[in-house]
Structure 1
Amino acid sequence: MSGPITITSPQQLSSLLSSSRIVVVNFYNEWSATSKALGTIYDQLAGNLQRPNVVTFAKVNAEQQTQISESYAVVDVPTFLIFKNGSQIQKLNGNNAKQLSEAVKRLAAEADSDSSGGFGEASSSSGGTWIGAGLPRGYKDVTDQVDARGLDLLNFDSEFGSVRTLFETTQPTTVAMGKGKGAASGSEGKKDWVESDVDEQLMLYVPFNSTLKIHTIQITSAPPSSEDDEDAPMRPKTIHLFTNLQHNLGFEEAEDVPATQTIELKPSDWDEKTATAKLELRFVKFQKVYSLVLFVADGEGEGEKTRIDRIRIIGESGEKREMGQLQKPEDD
């Protein structure tokens, strides 16, 4: 059995995040009694669950490695960050050993059963790529530059599709069925869309394999089957966009980070035939983009859940990113 890896530089942590499917990081300091107590439990978890390139445990001295602590907004110790496929998915503060243990064990079990297929493999044999709206002159669909290994979606209902469903190249099944009664219910066939879980908000982190110039984002969301159905999921309304972040935002954290652009969709923005709306971006603000966060703050209606079927990224692709390196956004 091996213990946690001691992180001594941002580059070492970045390399670790790119080489292991699950990474758990313990931010601690030497003088904190709570850090010491949780550290013993953490070491035991590492000894039982750590597996090379699958589940890796690491520890960071928060006082010595201030650059790493600041990068991930670690203020108090102990703090535990959990990463999956290079993207932060959970942040645990304080001394809740049971919560930490349950979260790590659950993810370790998922890592064992998770398929290793790359993004788009399931849909690569389809007859063509789904495009919900026309392409602006001079630009193309660059969704193939999405780095599926780093995708992260917060507050989604696991009874429906996963984050990768949003970027499938196939036509959404409910759009193929056509608008009308039952079109959005998905009572027949697979549920190839995403719905939010406990409320209407969704937080999506999208890293790219190359730097992009993003002109437009297409969002497909099948309409409610009936205006009288209070349980039907809503279409997104207010969307905050953030560029070039190193990891996903928490919902509370998003309130303190200035958005690159905020868009409020109107009912008239949705194409009746394709159930797709275009997010027209301020193009000058979306140059050299290597990651994107879409925060769906609310939906169009009085429902409790929001639905998205597909997302397409329209623009230009640039030079390939050097993966595994921490990057900082350039100043405008």
Structure 2
Amino acid sequence: MSKTIQIGTKGQFDGFLKSSKFVVADFYADWCGPCKAINPLYEQLSAQFSRAGKVTFVKVDTEKQQEISLKYGVTALPTFIIFRENQVHASCRGADAQKLSEMVKKVAAEVDLGGPGGNVERSHVGSRWLGSDLPRGYSDVTDEVDIQGLDLLNANSVLGGARALFEGDRPSALDGEESTGVESSKNDWVESDTDEQLMLFVPFRATVKVHTLQITSLPRSLSQSQVEPPMRPRTIQLYSNRSHVLGFEEAEDIPPTQKITLETADWDQKTGTAKVDLRFVKFQNVTSLVLFVVDGDGDRDAVRIDRLRIIGETGEKRELGKLEKVGDNGD
């Protein structure tokens, strides 16, 4: 049975934001075809994951509640916004059933498992794996990465491409291949090719504020490998708001937005993940990142990265204009 609440006033909406830890809001209109198409799924999620005082599902008619829609920058329908403790936590623009389900299941898992202070293994819920806990007040915004626009230089073409870095599944290297010494056939990671350097261009579909990077690297040890294993990244340079991937020589002449040096102690022994806190003030209105792996943590020839997660928050919303219907692809 659905537990969705129809919002009648802004005061009612604000009340739920204060009284419920999470509020899942469906911004819709009666004339919107994609809104009607995805509504049965939304009602199903509401029936399954509503938790009194913890997870509340609401529907906001944008025609009748324009003040709420304006405040949160709703310019396309449907739009789903999840609020955590009165702040925007995650959003989904368009009738994207998979993304909506993943967002809701992730929230429900956090509530059911006691919040972000517990075992990091709980993050592997609903095909959304995280290598480390989320900093309080921030969310995983990796879904805002424009996968089609990714560009990766000096990668071993036999292994996974740039898209592998942003897969939602748990890295295959954590599921037994490393301990047995047998290489996974999935190849869901990236290694550098001719030398230890990698250059990755990451565009975003919307402006984001980047607080933290989670970099997962799971190279096999020397004793487990018949060939020289790759290294973990050591020196990384970040460049924000570039229009394209940088060349390696070009990057040497451009001051990075931030330079990072990773030490052995930075890598979590269980998940192989380093949590990199950025100088948040320098990454407030980010439309793209270039990640330049300058060198690795040894003297071998290749560097390996298994996953990359972007942690932060969505950027400033646009002012409310003419609403448009958004189909299954969210574009």
* TM-score category of the 2 structures, normalised to the smaller one: 0.5 to 0.7
Could you give the per-residue CA deviations for residues 249-298 of structure 1, whole angstroms, max 9, x where no partner exists?
A: 00000000010000000011000110100111011111000000000000
Q: Which residue of 1 aligns with 2:236?
A: 239
Q: Equivalent residues in 2 for 1:24-103 (5 A)?
A: none
Could you give the per-residue CA deviations for residues 72-131 of structure 1, whole angstroms, max 9, x where no partner exists?
A: xxxxxxxxxxxxxxxxxxxxxxxxxxxxxxxxxxxxxxxxxxxxxx9x99xx8x832010
Q: Which residue of 2 aligns with 1:172?
A: 171
**1:227 offset after TM fit, Å?**
6.0
Q: Which residue of 2 aligns with 1:152?
A: 151
Letter in 2 for 1:296: V
Identity of aligned residues (%): 58
For residues 227 and 178 of structure 1, the distance between their equivalents in structure 2, rounded to whole angstroms, comes to 14
Distance change >3 Å, CA 258–CA 191, structure 1 → 2: same
Letter in 2 for 1:278: K
Q: Which residue of 2 aligns with 1:214?
A: 210
For residues 143 and 317 of structure 2, the distance between their equivalents in structure 1, rounded to whole angstroms, comes to 13
Q: Which residue of 1 aligns with 2:308?
A: 311
**1:319 offset after TM fit, Å?**
4.6
Distance change >3 Å, CA 179–CA 273, structure 1 → 2: farther
Letter in 2 for 1:316: E
Q: Which residue of 1 aligns with 2:275?
A: 278
For residues 174 and 129 of structure 1, the distance between their equivalents in structure 2, rounded to whole angstroms, comes to 16
Letter in 2 for 1:218: Q
Q: How many residues align?
A: 200
Distance change >3 Å, CA 177–CA 127, structure 1 → 2: farther
Give the TM-score normalised by structure 2. Answer: 0.56
Question: Structure 1 residues 217-226 or 237-246, which shifts more?
Answer: 217-226
Indicate conservation of the 8 Å contact 1:179/1:273, yes or no.
Answer: no
For residues 316 and 152 of structure 2, the distance between their equivalents in structure 1, rounded to whole angstroms, comes to 26
Q: Which runs of 5+ in 2 are unaligned?
A: 1-95, 103-124, 319-331
For residues 229 and 180 of structure 2, the distance between their equivalents in structure 1, rounded to whole angstroms, comes to 12
Letter in 1 for 2:234: K
Of 267, 291, 295, 1:298 maps to 295
Q: Does 1:205 align with 2:201?
A: yes
Of 246, 252, 266, 1:249 maps to 246
For residues 210 and 221 of structure 2, the distance between their equivalents in structure 1, rounded to whole angstroms, comes to 32
Structure of greater relative contact order (alpha carbons < 8 Å, 6+ residues apart):
2
Q: Which residue of 1 aligns with 2:139?
A: 140
Of 185, 192, 196, 2:188 maps to 192
Q: Which residue of 1 aligns with 2:222?
A: 226
For residues 261 and 188 of structure 1, the distance between their equivalents in structure 2, rounded to whole angstroms, comes to 34
For residues 279 and 293 of structure 1, the distance between their equivalents in structure 2, rounded to whole angstroms, comes to 15
Could you give the per-residue CA deviations for residues 227-251 of structure 1, whole angstroms, max 9, x where no partner exists?
A: 6966101000000000000111000
For residues 282 and 320 of structure 1, the distance between their equivalents in structure 2, rounded to whole angstroms, comes to 22
Give the TM-score normalised by structure 1. Answer: 0.56
Indicate conservation of the 8 Å contact 1:214/1:316, yes or no.
Answer: yes
Question: Structure 1 residues 192-201 or 228-237, which shifts more?
Answer: 228-237
Q: Which SS does the other structure have where 1:302 is aligned? A: coil
Indicate conservation of the 8 Å contact 2:138/2:313, yes or no.
Answer: yes
Q: Which runs of 5+ in 1 are unaligned?
A: 1-117, 322-332
Q: Which residue of 1 aligns with 2:284?
A: 287
Distance change >3 Å, CA 128–CA 260, structure 1 → 2: same
For residues 222 and 317 of structure 2, the distance between their equivalents in structure 1, rounded to whole angstroms, comes to 45
For residues 159 and 282 of structure 2, the distance between their equivalents in structure 1, rounded to whole angstroms, comes to 33
Q: Which residue of 2 aligns with 1:92?
A: none
Distance change >3 Å, CA 296–CA 174, structure 1 → 2: same
Indicate conservation of the 8 Å contact 1:203/1:296, yes or no.
Answer: yes
Letter in 1 for 2:239: F
For residues 202 and 147 of structure 1, the distance between their equivalents in structure 2, rounded to whole angstroms, comes to 19
